[in-house]
Amino acid sequence: MMHVPFYSLDYVERDLGSSLGESVDAVIKSNWYIRGSRCTAFEEAFAAYCGKKACVGVGNGLDALTLMLKASIILGRLAEGDEVIVPANTFVATVLAVRAAGLVPVLVEPDPETCNLDVARLADACSEKTRAILVVHLYGRLADMPAICEFAKAHDLQVFEDAAQAHGAVLAGGVPSVAAAYSFYPTKNLGAMGDGGAVVTDDLELAQVVRSLGNYGSEQKYVNKYAGVNSRLDEIQAAILLAKLPHLDAWNNRRREIAARYCAEIKNPQVRLTPLPANPNAHVWHVFPVFCERRDELQEFLKARGIETLVHYPIPPHLQEAFVGAVACGELRHGALPLTEEQARTELSIPMGPSLTDDQVAYVVESINAFI
């Protein structure tokens, strides 16, 4: 029996060798650990990689989302109490960030094929209080940004991105959002060796406010312009990310190769897959989800064959205990969400990542097809 881990970081050492240790050692010898030259270099490199003018490193992905929205409030583009459309099937951090900024999340069902925000449902979700859409590129697949941005323009809404799972996913011509928030959690396509996050944008004014908010609200030491927080990408994490960034495209291409095999070779009629996108570059396959009515049985079957899996996500935000009061008092708004609940009940994430060998991929395919 073969063992197939859900995700392994072995590929990092394989591809970078001793360079990561050397990068960390250089930071230690510099005696400068917060907002130094490595952070500046990474911010410049990642902004260029994303095709944007500015990148601001912060403490984690949740902070990136929250500070992006709070900066928009400070600049008068949003106001506390405004409604923000959010996919109902997202990770809880997206909803937490909207609420932490003093805004009201409005949960909208996904497209059942792509699992991303269903553009056809946006009009029904809007009210006179709706001011923005926070798009989530779930599993690494870019949402239908041209259609979303067209709708937003017609309804005078701002568009923000939760790109925590979509490092390196691109559309021809770029994405005209206000800003995108990234997470550098260790298992992300571009991950640190600890927590980290960033806001990427063409809006230099927004970037400056985000930078200040993450530094206690200060632009000048001991002068606090805003009521900020302590959320900064440290030099060691920035050095690690800077070393990894040149390898990201190759790692994403390996993910695409694995996804193409899964999509072509998994033939079990009980298992539904999300299709390959027309533009391969629009998906980086952070997660490879399958959907099965007998999800728990399938998971146990694969476990018995040495294959690790995870569920993303077993409880959708609107059913979390933390939000019961918010729903009751209108601080989180949604209608019936049967597609979101079905996805939570049937989703299973199978192994995906650059460390997977061709033999392991074949074994996963064979095992899923053997599930009766």
Q: What is the pLDDT of residues 96-111, one digit of tens each?
A: 999 999 999 999 999 9
Model pLDDT, residue 105: 98
Place of tokens 């250089």: 26
Neighbours of 143 (CB within 10 A): 27
The region that residue 306 occupies, defined by phi over 0 for left and psi between -120 and 50 for alpha, beta otherwise, is left
In terms of Cα–Cα distance, which of 171, 159, 134, 139 is closest to 50? 171
* Global confidence as pTM: 0.97
∠ CA 138-141-143 to the nearest 5 degrees?
80
Q: What is the mean pLDDT of the chain?
A: 96
Q: What is the pLDDT of residues 276-295, one digit of tens each?
A: 999 999 999 999 999 999 99
Q: What is the pLDDT of residues 187-241, one digit of tens each?
A: 999 999 999 999 999 999 999 999 999 999 999 999 999 999 999 999 999 999 9
Q: In the chain, pLDDT over 90 holds for what percent of residues?
A: 95
Do residues 94 and 85 make contact, with C-beta atoms less than 8 angstroms apart? no
Question: pLDDT-based confidence at 328, cuts 50/70/90?
Answer: confident
Do residues 107 and 333 make contact, with C-beta atoms less than 8 angstroms apart? yes
Q: What is the pLDDT of residues 240-287, one digit of tens each?
A: 999 999 999 999 999 999 999 999 999 999 999 999 999 999 999 999
